[in-house]
Amino acid sequence: MEQLEKGYNYLEENKYFFGEIPHERAVKIADYKFFWDVSDDLAPFGCEEAYIAFCELCDWLIDNPDTPIIDCFIWILESWELGLDDFNDEIIESENILKIIQDLDFYEDLMSLDYTVISTGFAQLILQGKIDMDVKNIIQLSILRQMNSHVLDAFLGTNEQCKYERYLYLRKLLDILEDA
Q: Mind listing the pLDDT tens digit for each residue in 30-73?
A: 999 999 999 999 999 999 999 999 999 999 999 999 999 999 99
- Based on its alpha-carbon atoms, the radius of gyration of the chain, rounded to whole angstroms, reads 16
Neighbours of 82 (CB within 10 A): 14
Segments making up each domain of the chain, as ranges: 2-179
pTM: 0.95
pLDDT beneath 70: ranges in the chain: 104, 106
pLDDT of residue 108: 72
pLDDT of residue 93: 93
pLDDT of residue 164: 96
CB environment 1-32: b (16+ within 10 A), e (fewer): eebeeeebebeeeeeebeeeebbeebbebbbb
**Is 79 within 8 Å of 49 (Cβ atoms)?**
no
pLDDT of residue 123: 98
